[in-house]
Structure 1
């Protein structure tokens, strides 16, 4: 870790954090924001900073989501502390939760059994999300998949995305059969869950959390071990609620996700 001069911390954050002793950074930075870890006299904190308009709007959305989930659920997520904006940047301050990303935990796991245990706990933890009652007003919103397809069209026309018009039209014409919506993480990859004591414990990066289609979460969760039968079986043994078909996986991971 290296010393910080507090230059990038909004003044209001300094009052919350107190005297910052050191700052550090994650091994992998995301594409949408720069993350800093502040180690202060009063504890450890995470500050996310975004500068592009698109990502600033996502960070504001994440702040609002965290506030609602902190207040109305018992999900294992960081605690929202503050959100600030200036002319050039948006900043989100939250508690720093213990653990390392599941991706890192899988890399350092020494045996197949350790990996299976980690993936089993991932499935179990995702089940707790899908079984959690979302905030009431989230249930009153329009169909999540229809909204996502509209967002996909907007993103295609306004931003650089991996999807194209042909793929979007295919997604619109071939929507999967409707199933009951649940609370979903919305970006449930192995980078967005933290492991402590060899168990997946905490969900992070919550800007896409919504009342939506749980198959989207499952598709993103299993994408890294889809062709490893032992790990896939371990995930579903922990998750238990349902399994998705290859067609559903391709629709959500190889299709819808390409626009986000």
Structure 2
């Protein structure tokens, strides 16, 4: 990943991803974000942005509409299909109403045309950090299980559960699909990102699920993680 990041040794700041090919503009935007208490990383292509959002944690992402690589809207659509719901701002959206509507349909949260001052842009980004009706909240719960998406922390009955990164990804995916059976193929595609190996990694999935179920459900009167024999898994409360 390219670019610089605003850092503070004393506090953990909210991270913003800038997919901005213009290094000078990225630095200007970054300086404004830092002045607002945010920290940032820069990538210069949409492919780098796609990887960053798949394998790292950001509170919000900015895509310049001119970012080179795979088309911006195509990348955003791929991210949404992978259940990656990081709020996304598109900078430099076309003035054509239909094109802007298409951007929203692909999963963009906010479109800001150029030219735009760094101060205005940071205000738009900070607005995306605020809880909005219909958006995915930072913390979701089922029974006494709570998942903090931003901090990647899990609690059951008020006690923190230590999960591996892969276990957290599985639990997050199951929670986003709460009440719906999730197949081995879906996990292979959306969590392992290896759809072609769905059959060969099924045993690996089972091992991770066994460990996850032990941590989440062991000793609990209400079980939340259930096996769908021959198909996959589902997260639901069996108290109802």
Greater relative CO, 1 or 2 (CA 8 Å, sep 6+)? 1
Fold shared per TM-score above 0.5: no
TM-score between the two structures when normalised by the length of structure 2: 0.31
TM-score between the two structures when normalised by the length of structure 1: 0.29
